[in-house]
Structure 1
Amino acid sequence: MNELNKYGEITFTIKRDFKLTNFLIKCKPKYMFKTTHVGGVDFEQINTNSNVTLKEIDVANLIKSKNTVIVLYEAEHKMDCYNFEDESKLLSMVITY
């Protein structure tokens, strides 16, 4: 988890009934990954049809290259968002869904 801590993120704790699909349609991040817990080593991309799994360093490189990235930690019901310009708009979308 040390690689992703280097970048400023917006962190949300999400509800158990969070409507992830609706959020993704509205938010349109370039990349969205899920992992089981904070400190997880495998990040599975979930906003694509292909089965892509990356390591933390690869996700950090995507963030470093200024792509919009969301990481969902399933066990903690936590979501980190990187490189989004309007934090208040993002918060509004999280609350809505």
Structure 2
Amino acid sequence: MEVTKKPFTFTLKNDFNMTGFLLKAKPDEAFRTKTELSKELVRTNTTSNVKLKDNIDLTQEDVEKLIEAGRKTLIYYEANNRLDAYNYPDEFELLDLVVKY
């Protein structure tokens, strides 16, 4: 992703509770993808970690526009258990949630 805003990046443990985390982190947008090189990202429901019924796939460019617009955005990379968080005010508050879940 080529955005001007730098994300907070976290490596997640294998038994990470994504649903609980999303409920507490309250992102405006949440996406998952296989790797950083994937061209499309799948939007997930921000109150659970399941795909939405209509499987909304967005391109990297569309997701970058959401980030640049100031939306709180989470991107989960499945291949390496990495989570990038954009437009959150406090990295340590988010880190506390990552550790908790």
TM bracket, shorter-chain basis: over 0.9
The corresponding residue for 1:52 is: 56
Please list every run of at least 4 consecutive aligned residues from structure 1 whose deviation after the TM superposition is greater than 3 angstroms: none
* Equivalent residue for 2:13, pick from 12, 15, 28: 15
* Equivalent residue for 2:27, pick from 29, 40, 57: 29
* Equivalent residue for 1:90, pick from 91, 94, 98: 94
Cα separation, 2, equivalents of 1:10 and 1:53: 23
TM-score calculated relative to the size of structure 1: 0.92
* Equivalent residue for 2:71, pick from 67, 80, 93: 67
Q: Any unmatched runs of 5+ in structure 1?
A: none
The corresponding residue for 1:77 is: 81
Q: State percent identity of aligned pairs.
A: 38
Cα separation, 2, equivalents of 1:65 and 1:44: 19
Question: 1:3-23: per-residue Cα shift (whole Å, max 9, x none)?
Answer: 24x321000000110000000
Q: Any unmatched runs of 5+ in structure 2?
A: 47-51
